[in-house]
Structure 1
Amino acid sequence: MKKILLTVMLLSVFVACKKEGKTTDTEVTEVQTEEVNYMSFGEEIIADDAVSAVSMAEHYKAMHVGDSIHSKMIAKVDEVCQAKGCWMKLNLENGEQVMVKFKDYGFFMPKNIAGQEVIVNGKAYVNEVSVEELRHYAEDAGKSAEEIALITMPKKTYSFEADGVLLVEE
């Protein structure tokens, strides 16, 4: 009985895998894909499902101070902390930026990555930043004493606490 069942199964496999002798005139085009390599910082993340900076800007517009969402975003770096790489500002492609800090100061980014593309994973939120903190960031960014003195009002900012970052290797 087992031999008959095995024979029937094998015949089924051969019949199912039989190649048809039909010929068709279909054009075959070769698609080349470029593999992207990343340097990883913080928790290990994957590049899949990252939303564009433009899409993320729309999410931020709908948020209020204190709101937060878990997100993964791809964007270009505008600025990096020149003291030690402890924050970066990403371009949202609508004239706005998002301030990215790293969860528990667990990792830092290279200071020379302005203009490069990154994927950040973590918590997006809207924050009101105090004058003192804004001045601290301006100092980290290498702004002059005159520029720092002009900061006199708190600012509503788009913020992101990243637990993992992928930096596109060039």
Structure 2
Amino acid sequence: MNKLLIVLGLLLTVVACKTEDKKVEEQAIEKEVVKYTSVGKEISADAAKSTLEMAETYRAMTIGDTISTKLIGTVDEVCQSKGCWMKIDLKDGHQVMVKFKDYGFFMPKDIAGQEVIMYGKAYINEVPVDEQRHYAEDAGKSAEEIAAIIEPKKTFSFEADGVLLKGE
């Protein structure tokens, strides 16, 4: 009987003293360092609107409205003459026509498909036929495509003060 009490006492001691070892796993998440090339006015990469957020902003605007904002997006095309404009895909079927403040800087001509962050003024613009044809010519469009431009077009526009071009 003493043996039974001793075994029972040891068993109770083991069960009572058993504590669950809760392990807190710490994951060291390394922050990815993204390198950017700055063009124009120096800007930071933080707090940029996504293309979907910007598409909503543009839909709420009318011709003549202007807002200061920062946008992150992917370059669709660039002026092949001298890099004096670029188009950003909004991923909703629209593009943003980007020009650079006071033609103070230009973008490399080979950045289609690359990510950029821009700070400047977003606005809605009505582009006349002659200006549309000029941009089509800069983009290397055919004579037939240029001749097919026959009416003014409402566009989502952006005048960038500075651009960050994501490095590889």
Aligned to 2:129: 131
Aligned twin of 1:58: 56
Equivalent position to 1:82, from 63, 80, 83? 80
- C-alpha distance in structure 2 between counterparts of 1:44 and 1:24, whole Å: 48
Displacement after TM superposition at 1:32 (Å): 2.1
From 23, 35, 38, the equivalent of 1:37 is 35
Counterparts of 2:147 and 2:72 in 1: how far apart (Å)? 33
Of 97, 102, 105, which aligns to 2:100? 102
**What is the distance in 1 between the residues matched to 2:99 and 2:130?**
17
Match of 1:154 in 2: 152
SS for the counterpart of 2:58 is helix
Mapped partners of 1:38, 1:25: distance in 2: 39
- Runs of 4+ with deviation above 2 angstroms: none
Structure 1 residue 151 displacement after superposition: 0.2
Greater shift in the superposed pair: 24-33 or 120-129: 24-33
TM-score normalised by L of structure 1: 0.85
1:114 aligned residue: 112
Root-mean-square deviation (Å): 1.1
For the residues of structure 2 that align with 1:31 and 1:105, how far apart are their CA atoms? Answer: 41
Structure 1 segments unaligned to the other structure (5+ residues):
1-22
Q: CA deviation at 1:24?
A: 6.9
Q: 1:65 is matched by which residue type in structure 2?
A: I
1:100 alignment partner, SS class: strand
> Matched residue pairs, number?
148
Q: Which residue in the other structure is 2:15 paired with?
A: none
Q: Deviations over 1:107-157 (max 9, x none)?
A: 000000000000010000000000000000000000011110000000000
Amino acid paired to 2:157: S
Higher Rg: 2
Q: CA deviation at 1:57?
A: 0.4
Cα distance in 1 for partners of 2:124, 2:45 equals 24
Pairwise CA distance, 1:26: 1.6
The normalised TM-score by structure 2 is 0.86
